[in-house]
Amino acid sequence: MSAFSYPASQRTPIIAQLLKVVVGGIVLYCAAIVVWMLGYQLVYAGRIFPGVSVAGVDLSGMSPQDAALKLSQTLSYPISGKVLFQDGANSWVASPAELGMVFDPSSSAESAYRLGRSGDVFSALDGQLRALESGEDVAPVIVFDQRVANQYLQKLAQKIDQPAVEASLHLEGTNVVAQAGQIGRTLNVNATLTYLGARLQTFTDGEVPLVIQETQPALTDVSSQADAARNILSQPLQLVIPNAGKGDPGPWVYEPQTIANMLGVERGQNGNQSNMQVLLNPDSVRQMLANIATQADRQAANAQFHFNTTTDQLALVTPSVTGRTIDIDASVKAINDAIARGEHTVPIVLKETQPAAADDVTAKQLGITQLIEQQTSYFYGSPAARMQNIQTAAARFDGVLVAPGETFSMGQTLGDISLNNGYAEALIIYGNQTIAGVGGGVCQVSTTLFRTVLNAGFPVVERVPHAYRVSYYEETPSGTMDPNLAGMDATVYFPLVDFQFKNDSPYWILMETHVGSDYLTWQFYSTPDGRSVTINTTGPQNIVPAPPPSFVKNPDLPSNVKMQQTDIAVNGADVDVTRSVTKNGAVYFQDEFKTHYEPWQAICEYAPSVQDPAAEALHEGKCQSPALSMVQ
């Protein structure tokens, strides 16, 4: 047992005594506090406690009224204070009053007076002690009219704000001008007002930060694109056919000024990064390529052959041609890709079409085994120009192939009838008169083809007869006229008038033309399919006499010519030709060709010196009785 231990019977009285001492001490402490507060407040009744200030102005021991007076006399901050706003090199200074601040000295003095007197006993005591020991500065009471501050800041915003500007390129002629992008700036007035309110509350001069929000343009630098544009315009652009051969058109050269008018930019997005690409306007390039296509595009053409009757093989006359068309969209891309790489010579993109009959095709593959039909027409007495036109036109069809199921157009194969293509001027029927025109005599070729088709038994799709009977088309090998050949002519004036037939057999047809001094022979080589042909004709009927001749004065006739005949008289007539085509003994089809020939008027031009044109015509033997004409 410890020397300091007490018996259990003695412990309770001792604890009780200790509790009495503690409680008594607390009561005495509280009493002391109450006595202090009552005494302190009695001493400073109606006055501000010692150590209390407002905005650094000591108000100790002053009544609220005196304190308000002192504050109003001492604190001139709303008028004399300076608030600084700064944006880079630009700065603006304003007084708090200009920014909507109003100081309330009475309310501020009242706030100072309430310090140490508000809250519970302990809070009040704490305030008194803090003020007494270290001083307590009370925040001044101000009225902040944000509408005034907002107006001031809005005026600053007009000087600070600037929109984001995208980088750009433009051309001045062929000169490339690059404009850098500009960052957008916007003054956040509401956020700046928050900082301003805090600064005014301190009653001290200082800077209020301007809250400026920046907007980045999608593209700020286009120097590389400007360099690309300058490179594009540094040389002419040259478009070429890839692997061009002899006779191919091109190149097509476009000077920088032309390219400058087509140059543009395309904006794109690469992930989160905006970009700009210098290119030629696709629509402008398409138009440029469409113009080139008129020269570069070509249809696939079969090889042309002659049939060797000794070997039954084909002999190549004209090589086949691979068809091609410009792939417009692919070429647009190829051009822009090439100029982006700094290239100035660009191959256009072509789509190729292979001919159905290449150079190495065989007669067996085409089903060509023998001559199945040939017809000959005669043109005794034709002038040299007419014979030239017959030879030129007939050559276009020599060795031409007609595929099974194909509708053959004579006009499309004939092409352009012009002086540049080897044709000469000769008499043609144009409208209601006979005149000199390029290609007179071509209808000798179309007529010969018509008769070959007619006798071969192939369907005629389109056929137009002449306006009046022409003597050449009724000539026989002996040079005499055979009226039974009337109604077996065909004219062509493409694209208005065409002759067409259909190869309805399962075999190809190879056509050969052979022109002599006074005849044209047209041959069809193929394989017989069992068809045979019967042709019947009514011959000319319903004869209508030619009208009386017309005499026209012409002061421009040569001085030694009194009269010249420009058209001859031809009687009108109707002819019906019927055809029956059988195959393997059964009727395959029948057709009929009705021809109406107009009565044609003779025309004679006479010099002004001729008094009686009819008598002069009789004297010269002109514009007399009808005869078959010698044109076309």
Lowest mean pLDDT among 468-472, 515-519, 543-547: 468-472
Question: Mean pLDDT: which of 220-229, 260-269, 450-459, 489-498 is highest?
Answer: 450-459
Cβ atoms of 49 and 60 closer than 8 Å? yes
| Residue 4, pLDDT score | 46
How far, in Å, CA of 228 to CA of 277, rounded?
Answer: 9
- What is the average per-residue pLDDT within 460-479? 91
Q: What is the pLDDT of residue 1?
A: 41
Percent helix / strand / coil, the chain, rounded to 5: 30, 30, 35
Residue 364 has pLDDT above 60, yes or no: yes
Taking residues 197-225, what's their average pLDDT?
88
The pTM of this model reads: 0.64
- Residue 227 CA: distances (Å) to CA of 277, 280, 619: 11, 15, 87
Give pLDDT, residue 188: 96
pLDDT at 158: 95
pLDDT tier for residue 569 given thresholds of 50, 70 and 90: confident
- What are the tokens at 456? 């071969």
Nearest residue to 157 (alpha-carbon basis) of 130, 180, 184, 176: 184
Buried b / exposed e along 587-603 (16+ C-beta atoms within 10 A): ebeeeebebebbbbbbb
Q: Confidence band (pLDDT; 50, 70, 90) for 3? A: very low
pLDDT in tens, 7-31: 555 555 676 666 666 666 666 665 6
360 pLDDT more than 90 = yes
Stretch 516-531: mean pLDDT, rounded? 96
pLDDT at 428: 54
pLDDT value of position 410: 95
pLDDT exceeds cutoff 80 at 436: no
Q: What is the pLDDT of residue 316?
A: 97
pLDDT at 616 over 60: yes
**If 0-12 CB within 10 Å is exposed, 13-18 middle and 19+ buried, where does residue 196 land?**
buried
**Entry field: residues in the chain:** 632
Per-residue b or e along 457-469, where b marks 16 or more CB atoms closer than 10 Å to that residue's CB: bbbbeebbbbbbb
What average pLDDT does the segment 455-476 reach? 93
pLDDT at 631: 45
Q: Tokens standing for 349?
A: 């993109």
Can you list the pairs that 32-35 forms with residues at least 24 positions away whose Cβ atoms lie under 8 Å?
33/121, 33/125, 34/121
Cα gap 516→511, rounded to integer Å: 17
Least confident of 132-136, 326-330, 369-373: 132-136
Which residues, in sequence order, are CB contacts of 120 under 8 Å at separation 6+?
A: none
Q: Indicate the pLDDT class of residue 275, thresholds 50, 70 and 90.
A: low
Q: In terms of DSSP bridges, do strands 83-87 and 206-207 run parallel, antiparallel, or are they unpaired?
A: parallel
Q: Looking at the predicted structure, is the pLDDT value of residue 625 above 90?
A: no
- pLDDT score recorded for residue 2: 46
The predicted structure's pLDDT at residue 31: 63
CB 519 within 8 A of CB 316: no
Q: Which of 46-55, 92-101, 435-444, 564-573 has the lowest mean pLDDT?
A: 435-444
pLDDT at 22: 61
Q: Which of 27-41, 236-250, 483-497 has the lowest mean pLDDT?
A: 27-41
Full set of structural domains in the chain with CATH:
15-146 (no CATH), 160-215 (no CATH), 223-353 (3.10.20.800), 367-620 (no CATH)
**pLDDT, average across residues 91-99:** 95
- The tokens describing 116, both together, are 């140490």
What's the rounded mean pLDDT across residues 390-397? 94
Q: Answer yes or no: is pLDDT of 245 > 50.
A: yes
Radius of gyration, alpha carbons of the chain? 57
Higher pLDDT pick, 428 / 522: 522
Calpha distance 275→266 (Å, rounded): 8
- Decide if 513 contacts 520 (C-beta within 8 A): yes
Average pLDDT, the chain: 88
- pLDDT at residue 272 greater than cutoff 60: no
